[in-house]
Structure 1
Amino acid sequence: RLRPLSDALLQYREQVEKMNVDRATSFESLSKTTSRLMELQDRSISETERLNRILGREKDRGSWGENQLENIFRLSGMEPYIDYMTQLTVSQDAKNVRPDAVVRLPGRGNFAIDSKAPLADYDTYLAAETPEQQAEAAKVFAATVKRHIQQLTSKSYYDYIKPSPDFVACFIPSDNVLSTALSGDQDLWNFAVRSKVLLCGPSSLMGMLWSVAYGWRQSQLQENAQEIMDLSETLHQRISVAYGHFHELSRSLGTTVKSYNKLVDSMESRLLVTIRTMETKGVKSKADIKEVDALVELPHDPNPDKWPVAPALPLTTLEAEIVELPRETE
Structure 2
Amino acid sequence: MIPLSPEILAALALALLAGLVAGAWPARRRLLAQAAEAARQAERAAQLQDRVAQLERDLSAQADALESWRARAQDGRLELAQLQAAHHEKLAAFEELRQAFDQSRATLRAEFQHLAGQVLEEKSQGFSRSSQDALGSLLRPFREQIESFQRRVNEIHDASVSGQARLDTEIRRVLETGLKMSDEAQSLAMALKGDKKATGNWGEVLLERSLQLAGLIAGDHYQAQASFRDEAGNRRQPDFIVRLPDGKHLIIDSKVSLVDYDRAVSAATPEAREAALVAHVRAVRQHIDDLARKDYSSLTGMKSPGFVLMYLPIEPAYIEAMRRDRELFDHGYRHNVVLVSHTTLMPVLRTVATLWMLARSNEQARALGDQAGGLYRQVEMVAARLQKLGHALGAAAAHYNGTVTAVAGQRGLYGKVGRFAELSAKAGRPLPALEPLLADFEVQRLDGIAPGADHVPETGRADAGSPPGAVPEDLHPPGEPNP
Normalised by the length of structure 2, the TM-score is 0.50
Give secondary structure in 2 for the equivalent of 1:139: helix
Quickly say closer, same or farther: Cα 1:283–1:308, change in 2 above 3 A.
Answer: farther
Corresponding letter in the other structure for 2:207? L
Give secondary structure in 1 for the equivalent of 2:418: helix
Quickly say closer, same or farther: Cα 1:247–1:49, change in 2 above 3 A.
Answer: closer
- Equivalent residue runs for 1:274-289 within 5 Å: 274-282=416-424, 284-286=426-428, 288-289=430-431
8 A Cα contact 2:189 2:199, kept in partner? no
- Equivalent residue runs for 1:237-252 within 5 Å: 237-252=377-392
Cα distance in 1 for partners of 2:423, 2:291 equals 119
Corresponding letter in the other structure for 2:209? N
Quickly say closer, same or farther: Cα 1:270–1:50, change in 2 above 3 A.
Answer: closer
8 A Cα contact 1:141 1:184, kept in partner? no
- CA deviation digits over 1:171-220, x for unaligned, max 9? 11111121222233221100111111111112222222112112222222
Normalised by the length of structure 1, the TM-score is 0.72
Quickly say closer, same or farther: Cα 1:249–1:95, change in 2 above 3 A.
Answer: farther
What is the aligned partner in structure 2 of residue 297 from structure 1? 439
Name which of 219, 223, 231 aligns with 2:363: 223
Name which of 72, 76, 81 aligns with 2:219: 81
What is the Cα deviation at residue 301 of structure 1?
1.0
- Equivalent residue runs for 1:181-260 within 5 Å: 181-260=321-400
Residues 1:135 and 2:277 aligned together: no
Corresponding letter in the other structure for 1:220? R
Corresponding letter in the other structure for 1:240? E
What is the Cα deviation at residue 52 of structure 1?
5.8
8 A Cα contact 1:138 1:183, kept in partner? no
Cα distance in 2 for partners of 1:48, 1:176 equals 8
Corresponding letter in the other structure for 2:247? R
Quickly say closer, same or farther: Cα 1:50–1:133, change in 2 above 3 A.
Answer: closer
- Equivalent residue runs for 1:301-312 within 5 Å: 301-303=443-445, 304=448, 308-312=477-481
- Equivalent residue runs for 1:263-278 within 5 Å: 263-268=403-408, 269-278=411-420
8 A Cα contact 2:253 2:309, kept in partner? yes
8 A Cα contact 1:108 1:163, kept in partner? yes
What is the aligned partner in structure 2 of residue 179 from structure 1? 319
Give secondary structure in 2 for the equivalent of 1:170: strand
What is the aligned partner in structure 2 of residue 166 from structure 1? 306
What is the Cα deviation at residue 242 of structure 1?
3.0
Corresponding letter in the other structure for 2:289? Q
8 A Cα contact 2:256 2:287, kept in partner? no
What is the Cα deviation at residue 65 of structure 1?
0.9
8 A Cα contact 1:55 1:119, kept in partner? no
Q: Which runs of 5+ in 2 are unaligned?
A: 1-184, 450-473
8 A Cα contact 1:101 1:113, kept in partner? yes
Give secondary structure in 2 for the equivalent of 1:99: coil
Cα distance in 2 for partners of 1:95, 1:270 equals 103
Quickly say closer, same or farther: Cα 1:59–1:221, change in 2 above 3 A.
Answer: same
- CA deviation digits over 1:252-279, x for unaligned, max 9? 2111110011111122244323432322
Cα distance in 2 for partners of 1:56, 1:131 equals 21
8 A Cα contact 1:178 1:201, kept in partner? yes
8 A Cα contact 1:142 1:185, kept in partner? yes
- CA deviation digits over 1:101-157, x for unaligned, max 9? 111223222111111241222233224344454333322211111111111122222
Cα distance in 2 for partners of 1:126, 1:172 equals 16
- Equivalent residue runs for 1:104-115 within 5 Å: 104-115=243-254
What is the aligned partner in structure 2 of residue 57 from structure 1? 195
8 A Cα contact 1:54 1:64, kept in partner? no
Quickly say closer, same or farther: Cα 1:57–1:92, change in 2 above 3 A.
Answer: closer
8 A Cα contact 1:175 1:202, kept in partner? yes
Give secondary structure in 2 for the equivalent of 1:302: helix
- CA deviation digits over 1:26-78, x for unaligned, max 9? xxxxxxxxxxxxxxxxxxxxx99975662322111111111111221222222
Corresponding letter in the other structure for 1:73? L
Cα distance in 2 for partners of 1:288, 1:112 equals 99
Give secondary structure in 1 for the equivalent of 2:394: helix
Give secondary structure in 2 for the equivalent of 1:135: helix
Identical positions, percent: 26
8 A Cα contact 1:55 1:61, kept in partner? no
Cα distance in 2 for partners of 1:82, 1:49 equals 32
Quickly say closer, same or farther: Cα 1:91–1:263, change in 2 above 3 A.
Answer: farther
- CA deviation digits over 1:72-97, x for unaligned, max 9? 12222221111211111234644432
Quickly say closer, same or farther: Cα 1:218–1:88, change in 2 above 3 A.
Answer: same
Greater fraction helix? 2
Corresponding letter in the other structure for 1:215? L
- CA deviation digits over 1:231-263, x for unaligned, max 9? 333333433333332322222211111001111
Corresponding letter in the other structure for 1:278? F
Q: Which runs of 5+ in 1 are unaligned?
A: 1-46, 315-330
More contact order relative to length (CA 8 Å, sep ≥ 6): 2
8 A Cα contact 1:135 1:184, kept in partner? no
